[in-house]
Structure 1
């Protein structure tokens, strides 16, 4: 017996209701699956964000731990006093200090030693972070394919004052190692007497030192009186050195380094003011030159070039300091951070 029309309608209704139920259940399952997927995506994003934050923090730490400073110190510019601050702080601030001792204090390295030095500085991870110092001329690391260059810093001094200090240092030594016999020990001739007699140790050519130290390992750098060397030294000072101070304003130099590179110089300013090694090395038996001796040296083209470089460095240092330091009640204070970020897009 065939089902009636009413029974057919009832059957169709049941089937439709059954499929509606299936669709509803499927929709609920799908919605829950989508919700679970969205939750997983959010969790993954949070995990990735946290991982990125940790990686960024680790990268910052690794970046600081990978820092290398090179102080290619010019003789008789208060370099020993400054270097001893680095030695006193290295244990506390957790970095290494290494002295670059070249044979006969030759500031120019052979090409093979340049390669060795660059390799050591960049790959000697056990010594990082590191503060290298020594009487070596500027070395351009980019010539050797290095991507991350070291940070160069330096100090320079009034050229005649530096020469006078060096002249007496060779004869009488200093209070750092008073028992060490110097190369010109026994020569009692004063600097003025040397200038008057036209001696070689006080000749204008002896002024030619700070320019080649900043100029670098090019032959022209060491040609006395080279205009190209002067321009190259200025270029390197501005483009390759983070900071170049002057001996006459050493405390300001130390303060600015502490603000810029606390990983190395945290506590340096206080140590300079109160430490026993801040003014450690004073040349013995030094007699200031007369105005006549100074005037005679200032007539030379070499002095004019070295003094030009010194004035250039001094102006640059004072410019940097003017944008970093303020004076209040006779004391200098480093400026706080005066930039911030805004209008950061896209919005989260």
Structure 2
């Protein structure tokens, strides 16, 4: 039955004129109350739309679940987290006056051609050591996408950067530490007398023969405890609190980063042991490193050795060691030293000073 609709405005009703078979005579009007018809039509329309939406959702979901898995389907974040290969990049965010020149110039640069890797120096403008967030992104993107320069060791005076904030894996982090007062003394006299590496270069405090004791007595700038606050912020990273001298949160963050992100952190006074561990842990880069280091003459084995250092007197030691900054820096150094010693002991026989333990695991019950 087909119907033609007319609007009967006077009666306030919708009139239906039958155009096909009906028990009413052809052309006779039947009055249907308008509100009832509108409600019925609206319910039908809503039901139809709901049915279409549900059907569309079910079909789309089915299509997604049945798509073939290809490399193109992997999300951008998943792709970036899988690259670079973790062993192809090392970042040595070296700290001044800790023996870093010896490690880079007399070991890394000497081995790079033979072992087939690149060494690149990171230089921050105006001797800064902390990058802003934009430069961090640029740096991370640069070294992870520069495939022609992999495998590589990047080294430079830079605070720790967490690559995972930008969606990629961290490189292998390594570093060296030095007893904090020894490091500050070396830096203090280096500014005045230079070192055995760049002989003849005039340093910024050349001609100033004031001793460290005299500087401490008059509370000079070069011996201020702010100058000692360095190893903690290098490990803490680029958070605002890392550079705040004496910030306890910075110390805790530095410890956490050392444990969570550094493969190994060595000690200046145990350089040979550090190199021996690097050779075992990262053979792609440091194969033959220990033999090479042992073959160096005294000068090359101690590059950038400050020419003249005057040991502090007891009064100076008392002042320094009672200072909060020294106490915190020393706590961090002792923490790192304990970690290094633990690694060393667990990789050696009890009665051995040099021989590493053989492999302590094997595979079995392999199926099929």
Query: Into which bin does the TM-score normalised by the smaller protein fall?
Result: 0.7 to 0.9
Structure 1 gap segments, 5+ residues each: 1-61
Alignment root-mean-square deviation, CA: 1.7
In 2, Cα distance between equivalents of 1:168 and 1:104:
21
Instruction: Work out which of the two has the higher radius of gyration on C-alpha atoms and give 1 or 2.
Output: 2
Query: How many aligned positions are there?
Result: 283
Residue matched to 1:312: 335
Whole-angstrom CA distance in 2 between matches of 1:328 and 1:341: 28
SS in 2 for 1:242: strand
**Equivalent position of 2:36 in the other structure:** none
Q: Which residue of 2 aligns with 1:206?
A: 227
- Which of 207, 219, 227 is the aligned partner of 1:186? 207
Kindly state the Cα deviation for residue 103 of structure 1 after the two structures are TM-superposed: 1.3
Provide the residue aligned with 1:291 in structure 2.
314
TM-score of the pair, normalised by structure 1:
0.78
- Larger relative contact order (CA 8 Å, sep ≥ 6): 1
**Residue 35 of structure 1 corresponds to which residue in structure 2?**
none
- The answer as to whether partners of 1:325 and 1:335 remain within 8 angstroms in 2 is yes
* Cα distance in 1 for residues equivalent to 2:222 and 2:304: 21
Residue 69 of structure 1, aligned match among 90, 95, 103: 90
The unaligned stretches of length 5 or more in structure 2 are 1-82
Equivalent residue runs for 1:227-306 within 5 Å = 227-276=248-297, 277-306=300-329
Quick one: which of 115, 120, 125 aligns to 1:103? 125
Q: What are the within-5 Å matches in structure 2 for residues 1-348 of structure 1?
A: 67-84=88-105, 85-146=107-168, 148-276=169-297, 277-326=300-349, 331-344=353-366, 347-348=367-368
CA shift, 1:283, in A, is 0.3
Residues 299-339 of structure 1, C-alpha deviation per residue, up to 9 Å, x if partnerless?
Answer: 1111111010000000001001111134767x511222111
- What SS class does the counterpart of residue 222 from structure 2 fall into? helix
Question: Which deviates more from structure 2 when the two are superposed, residues 207-216 or residues 270-279?
Answer: 270-279
Q: Check conservation: 1:65, 1:129, Cα contact below 8 A.
A: no
Task: Map Cα deviations across residues 29-81 of structure 1 (whole Å, 9 max, x no partner).
Answer: xxxxxxxxxxxxxxxxxxxxxxxxxxxxxxxxx98796100000010000000
Normalized per residue, the structure richer in helix is 1
Superposition misfits of 4+ residues, deviation over 3 angstroms = 62-66, 326-329
1-structure distance, mates of 2:84, 2:324? 45
The 1:268–1:212 alpha-carbon spacing in structure 2 relative to 1, beyond 3 Å, is same
